[in-house]
Amino acid sequence: MKAIVQTGYGSPDGFELRKIAKPRIKKDNDVLVRVHAAALHAGDVFMMRGVPVFTRFMVGFPKPKDYIPGYDLAGVVEAVGVNVSRFKRGDEVFGAVDHTCAEYVVASEEKLELIPSNLTLEQAAAVPTSAIAALHGIRDAGKVKPGQKVLINGASGGVGTFAVQIAKAYGAEVTGVCSTRNVEMVRSIGADHVIDYTQEDFTQGGPRYDLILDQVANHSLSACRRVLTPTGQHIPNSGNSGMSYILKALAVSMFVRRQGSTYMATPKPKDLPELRALIESGKVTPVIDRTVPMEEFNEAMRHLDSGRASGKIVLTL
């Protein structure tokens, strides 16, 4: 089968398209999926860079060791293990699974879900990892309730576009922060208010928020807390400012109630069914920046690494 394989660290040039062995079902609860689409995620950028250094122990140290990128897939079930009861050959599924930039992937049954009935395979591939991260930020870390004011910093990105919609679905009044070119898109997905960061700094006065879900980490922790309600919380969810920002948030959160720390969006069994229901009800729709064939993976990674993608980049296989 064909797969994208990482051969070096530092830039999108460190990937190549190769032919490798097709995976096989080894466990009774495994599902073999013919991947039709995979989405790129911020985590792929960190693995590409090899920074923070601990990522190299997942990809390969000191050099990548046949590492296949990708955390999301949508495809068709080709075979199932003897204990699999939820899927059969021919089912269209999506899920948050590792190493998805390949024509075939083996995943455990609990990591997959039938795709929403109103999405294509390409659209479904854009959902799992980013939508789960947004869901955990809004539902679990932020504990958003109807009527609360929520600000999404980085509202036009892969996680941000889902966070805006999920916060609205949970009944919040949502403010999205993005660049000029994305203002109308963020408004179109449901944001009640949109701040163009090139024209306005949300930390300088104005409304007070019950939650700031921060996908950018481009303001100091204290500046963000300044525009919170007395019971509000600032939750950074970005590695773009480096480990020092994340560690500082963690340390401060131990002493300052309104300062949250970065959370781990480890998928839970209830996540994909909840997202599927939100999508089928029309409350959440994936935003796709572009769809490209796997032969153009390097250029797709270059665009993702630029930070200018609006929504998700989807790879077709």
pLDDT digits 0-9 by tens, 20-64: 999 999 999 999 999 999 999 999 999 999 988 888 989 999 899
Q: Is the pLDDT of residue 240 over 80?
A: no
DSSP three-state, residue 174: strand
Mean pLDDT calculated for residue range 198-220: 95
User: Of the given ranges (111-125, 142-156, 246-260, 263-277), which has the lowest mean pLDDT?
Assistant: 246-260
pLDDT confidence of 295, banded at 50, 70, 90?
very high
pLDDT for 243 equals 72
CA distance 221 to 174: 20
pLDDT for 52 equals 82
The 10 Å Cβ neighbour count of residue 303 is 17
**Domains in the chain: boundaries:** 2-127+286-316, 130-253
Q: Which run of H or of E encompasses 223?
A: helix 221-225
Report helix angle 128-135 to 271-280, nearest 10: 100
Looking at domain 2-127+286-316, its CATH superfamily turns out to be Medium-chain alcohol dehydrogenases, catalytic domain (3.90.180.10)
Asked if residues 149 and 168 have their Cβ atoms less than 8 Å apart, the reply is no
pLDDT confidence of 242, banded at 50, 70, 90?
low
The 10 Å Cβ neighbour count of residue 267 is 18
Q: Is the pLDDT of residue 171 over 80?
A: yes
Which CATH code is given to the segment(s) 130-253?
A: 3.40.50.720
pLDDT for 205 equals 82
Q: Which run of H or of E encompasses 216?
A: none
